[in-house]
Amino acid sequence: MSAVITTHGLTKIFRHHTAVDSLDLVVPHGQVYGFLGPNGSGKSTTMKMLLGLTQPTSGSITLFGEPLTRASRMRLLPSIGSMIEAPPGYAHLTGRENMRIVQDMLDLTTAQIDHALATVRLTEQQHKLVRHYSLGMKQRLGIAMALARDPSLLILDEPTNGLDPAGIEEVRGLLIRLAGEGITVMVSSHLLDEIDKMASVLGILAGGRMIFQGSRDDLFAQSVPDLVIETPDPAAALAQAGHATPVAGGVRLSGLDKEKTAAVVQRMAVAGVPIYQVRRVQQSLEDVFMDLTGRGGLL
């Protein structure tokens, strides 16, 4: 069994609003699956359906090769650790006391709690009140709560939200390490940057629809590199180019295939724009993401 999560036509409609629209997810075993999309694109709603916290309007979910139903949910859930939306935890209790609640609820051993706290590097801070934790420590406590049961699947909703770069790096290292141990990790974010360096598979949502699912390399392969036209007269080049951005020494154009490139270059030449050089430059992954989710899409 290579996929830990699959969904077919997974859909959630709130009154007249389709929050999640016909999703076909495939989350492979032992990898970090980055679930990306702008705020409001349906990430949390999807994760809640995967955990059986919200009923789908239509479509189906398979976890560990087994259909998720009311009956199977109780059997499947113990293998899944999750953190949805805000990090959990009572502010007036210490980290350890919060873990104790999880321990009692799930009937875990003290060794499991110690191990989870050590994994997120909270051992030394475990006796501090959560109200005195930084956001990063709260996120890590949330991950420890999800980890304590030794899950084979972790579903984490925006665990890097609001963290500083060092905190993001810490969570990133942790999730990569867990995947290396064979735990499947599905992690969401609205910021590509936070996910990019840890996820080996990306699922990108926009308006409830999956607009891309595959490897980072696949994403690059499907994007059209930008075109930079070097010229001493960028104003004249802009006049011929339509949508273009002035850059040092010329103009930059996005989303032009071979035919459109030929047409633009010819227009400029006919208009007497001096062209020193025409070259392709790879977009940043952030640009590809913005194109997909914000500027109409290339796929």
Q: State the binding string over 174-213 for ligand ADP (x if CB under 6 A, else -).
A: ----------------------------------------
Q: What are residue 26's phi and psi, to 5 degrees?
A: -135, 110
Q: Is 2 in the site for ligand ADP (CB under 6 A)?
A: no
Residue 25's nearest CA partner among 193, 208, 171 is 208
Q: Is 37 in the site for ligand ADP (CB under 6 A)?
A: yes
Q: Select from 7, 11, 41, 184 the one that contacts ligand ADP (CB under 6 A).
A: 41
Q: State the binding string over 5-34 for ligand ADP (x if CB under 6 A, else -).
A: ---------x--x-x---------------
Signed CA dihedral, 42, 27, 298, 238: sign only: positive
Signed CA dihedral, 48, 53, 56, 59: sign only: positive
Q: Considering the complex, what minimum distance in angstroms separates the CB of residue 127 from Mg ion?
A: 31
Binding residues for ligand ADP, total number by CB under 6 A? 11
Q: Considering the complex, what minimum distance in angstroms separates the CB of residue 50 from ligand ADP?
A: 12
Q: DSSP string covering 244-273, please? A: -EEETTEEEE-S--HHHHHHHHHHHHHTT-
Instruction: Give 158 or 226: the residue with its C-beta nearer to ligand ADP.
Output: 158
Q: Which does 42 bind (CB under 5 to 8 A by kind): Mg ion, ligand ADP, none?
A: ligand ADP
Beta-carbon count within 10 A of 87 CB: 25
Cα separation, 105 vs 24, whole angstroms: 33
Q: Considering the complex, what minimum distance in angstroms separates the CB of residue 17 from ligand ADP?
A: 6
Residue 100's nearest CA partner among 88, 86, 114, 87 is 114
Q: Select from 1, 2, 16, 39 the one that contacts ligand ADP (CB under 6 A).
A: 39
Q: Which residues would be at the binding site for Mg ion (CB under 5 A)?
A: 43-44
Cα separation, 89 vs 130, whole angstroms: 7
Q: Considering the complex, what minimum distance in angstroms separates the CB of residue 37 from ligand ADP?
A: 5
Q: Select from 11, 27, 34, 43 the one that contacts ligand ADP (CB under 6 A).
A: 43
Q: Is 45 in the site for ligand ADP (CB under 6 A)?
A: yes
Q: Which does 7 bind (CB under 5 to 8 A by kind): ligand ADP, Mg ion, none?
A: none
> Longest Cα pair distance anywhere in the chain, in angstroms?
78
Q: Is 88 in the site for ligand ADP (CB under 6 A)?
A: no
Burial class (CB in 10 A: 0-12, 13-18, 19+), 209: middle
Instruction: Give 37 or 167: the residue with its C-beta nearer to ligand ADP.
Output: 37
Cα separation, 179 vs 82, whole angstroms: 15
Instruction: Give 35 or 64: the residue with its C-beta nearer to ligand ADP.
Output: 35
Three-state SS at 274: coil
Site residues (vs ligand ADP, CB under 6 A) = 14, 17, 19, 37, 39-45
